[in-house]
Amino acid sequence: MIVALLVSPAIGFFNGWMVVKRPGCPSFLVTLDGFAAIATWMLLRARYGNWISAVGDHFSVLRLRAMELSAERGEITLEELTDHMAGGAELAALKHKLSQVRGADAEELPEEHALRVGALKAN
């Protein structure tokens, strides 16, 4: 903690004097760029990066405080996981509701398998 208290002002002084004052860059942009540089270094070079980028082999998708999906890594494909995270179940439920509305043409609505990620084709 003491090291952080000593290093932080040094970094701030360097950013203020070398990066902001000389070329005239806005300090806000320099601060954001500093955060991005430190985060990139931490994820790619530090030993903590492996722990941050991949945590566990269990996927849980929550939607409106309810568990929509709970699966281990080998039980679900990437497409199924992406479908759940993008709201594929909600789109299927919406299609079902729209098909029950009077005047709605259910034939023009896409099928449930067409709502899956990767199955949609560009028109």
- To the nearest 10°, report the CA torsion of 3, 7, 9, 14: 170
Q: Per-residue pLDDT tens for 99-123?
A: 777 666 666 666 666 655 444 444 4
Most confident of 16-25, 41-50, 101-110: 16-25
What is the value of pTM for the model shown?
A: 0.36
What pLDDT, in 10s, does the model give residues 56-78? Answer: 677 777 777 777 778 887 888 87
